[in-house]
Chain A
Amino acid sequence: MSLRQRLVPYWLLAPGLLWLVVFFVVPMYFMGELSLRSGSLTSGYTFDWAWSNFPDSLSGHTEQIGRSFFYAGTATLLALLIAYPLAYAIAFRAGRYKALLLFAVIAPFFTTYLIRTIAWKTILSDSSPVVSVLQTLSLVPSDGRVLATSGAVIAGLTYNFLPFMVLPLYANLERLDLSLVEAAKDLYSSSRQAFLKVTLPLTMPGIVAGVLLTFIPAFGDYVNAQILGGTSQAMVGNVIQSLYLNQRNYPEAAALSFLMMALILAIVTVYIRFAGTGAFMGDEDEETA
């Protein structure tokens, strides 16, 4: 291969790589730099290796961090419970309605995320019939509200990130070889055993991908907590947003964002160890290219 030919991929990659490096990697450096500054908004922030920003940013917001784990975790679990049977039904039982159902799953993406969340606010508002039904069923105290509770925020998170759970599960289930399940049944396993020992393990990559794709954005989200929750439902995202944009305490905000990024990278790394890079990167081309 000539040198010119060998350079072709680099030319093709150059604009995209440049954009991602300059506007994704480099900003991370600046966020790191900002997180090590100290000072105040009025006197300005100067760089002096202020490592204390990191423990400070954690200790001041343990409550919101704990809440983020709890809300995102619960929402992810609920999404999995809703999505798995749905994805299974779309993959194997939908027949000619398959395309239509998939269309319905991605339909929420066609309206603005913020407007969907505001729609939930309307649905769960105090005067709404949904709330009176919940009150009649005693799921909510008769004088109680749904808005501005943990339940409302979790419901919003579950709703907003549900497609991110359904789609990887469906993609995985669709490729499941049903003859393996039949083989298990031929060998006298019950439906339940066949599911637990064959279907579930084979769809594990889809489950892990869906869990990550739901948990990560839910963990960092602040829109649901802001619109559907009250002040006592604030999550880490709300803290970062308010530190950056309202209080302009950049060092602490940067330190907290950095820690969040580190946490996500750690999760992704563990996942890649666990499932191999291919599954996460859509790297099927290893064999074909």
Chain B
Amino acid sequence: MAFLSRAWAWLRRNALPIYAGLAVAYMLIPIAVIAVFSFGATPKGKLTFGLDNGFTTEYWRSAFSLPDLNEALFTSLRLAALATAISTVIGTLMAIALVRHRFRGRRLTNLLIVIPMATPEVVIGASLLSMFIYYTFALGFGTLLIAHVMFSISFVVVVVRSRLIGFDRHLEEAAADLGATPLATFRTVTLPLLAPGILAAGLLAFSLSIDDFVISNFNSGTTVTFPLYVYGVSLRGVPVQVNVLATMLFGLIAIAVSLVLWQQRRAEKMASVRPEQEAMPMPMPGAAAAT
């Protein structure tokens, strides 16, 4: 009995961490499943449950052996790179205007940035398709790029803005006092200090773009991106190579995010950012809109 009551007391004391641990496990289980099954031998090379057939690195070795899948992945990477470049530049300029300048129409601009983030993806995809139908626009890479830049801009603005707000302007004033022109100040002081924020925003835009299925599904025409390929094959059976590539992408993005986080921390120390402003180390859609 004494043991039981002690166990109960321990459980009560640690209920919160245990609960949190279970919640985190819940979030990570599918990722583990994706990674583990990329090593599972299956008779037909299609994803099935169970590792009873044994462990194999076959699919890792033949990761790039499906031409359609390679092409889809390449399209996605090209699309994400272009969409990231465009939306990061445009969004950063907007964020600078919003934080550094007072002007008429600020509220309206803010609203125009928030509403796309609050709009269900189906509606964004459907409305864009409505316009493309009206002008009998040829659907394809171009329309995908338009859509991806559109839904990334708001997130870039929010991330870069949160960085700009916690910015020590004395450094810029010091540069100006020392005779730097506004442009030189921007290039040598503002931009380097802002770089981690821009990098984080770019990374977010990239992962939003490479992940997008719903909006792309409406506006892709015959162009196939990585998620669209997966959707297409999901009805017939997903080749294990999809798991392999998903695991690779996960690894790459995880490394990139860790680097950005590390860089951000370093930059924070350098720029003496007020810590209480930096609520989130890695800005993600949810947090960005809420802080």
Interface positions of A (Cβ within 8 A of B): 6, 8-10, 12-13, 15-17, 19-21, 23-28, 30-31, 33-34, 82-83, 85-86, 88-90, 93-94, 99, 101-116, 118-120, 122-123, 125, 127-128, 159, 162-168, 170-172, 174-175, 205-206, 209-210, 212-213, 216-217, 219-223, 227, 237, 240-241, 244-245, 250, 253-254, 257, 260-261, 264-265, 268, 277, 279-285, 288-289
Contact = CB atoms under 8 A, between A and B. Distances in A.
A29 to B, nearest CB: 8
A213 B286 contact: yes
A24 B116 contact: yes
B16 A89 contact: yes
B234 A114 contact: yes
Contacts of B175: none
Given A90-B20, A220-B122, A265-B115, A254 B261 contact: no
B250 A268 contact: no
A125 B49 contact: yes
Chain A contact residues: helix, strand, loop or mixed: helix
Interface string B121-142: 1111011111101100000000
A112 B246 contact: yes
A222 B125 CA distance: 13
Given A10-B103, A171-B287, A172-B290, 14 more contacts: A16-B91, A17-B94, A17-B109, A19-B149, A20-B154, A93-B17, A102-B281, A103-B258, A106-B282, A110-B207, A118-B47, A212-B118, A220-B122, A289-B101
A12 B24 contact: no
A172 to B, nearest CB: 7
Contacts of A27: 127-128, 130-131
A275 to B, nearest CB: 10
Contact of A168 (B119, B164, B289): B289
A167 B207 contact: no
A163 B27 contact: yes
A76 B185 CA distance: 47
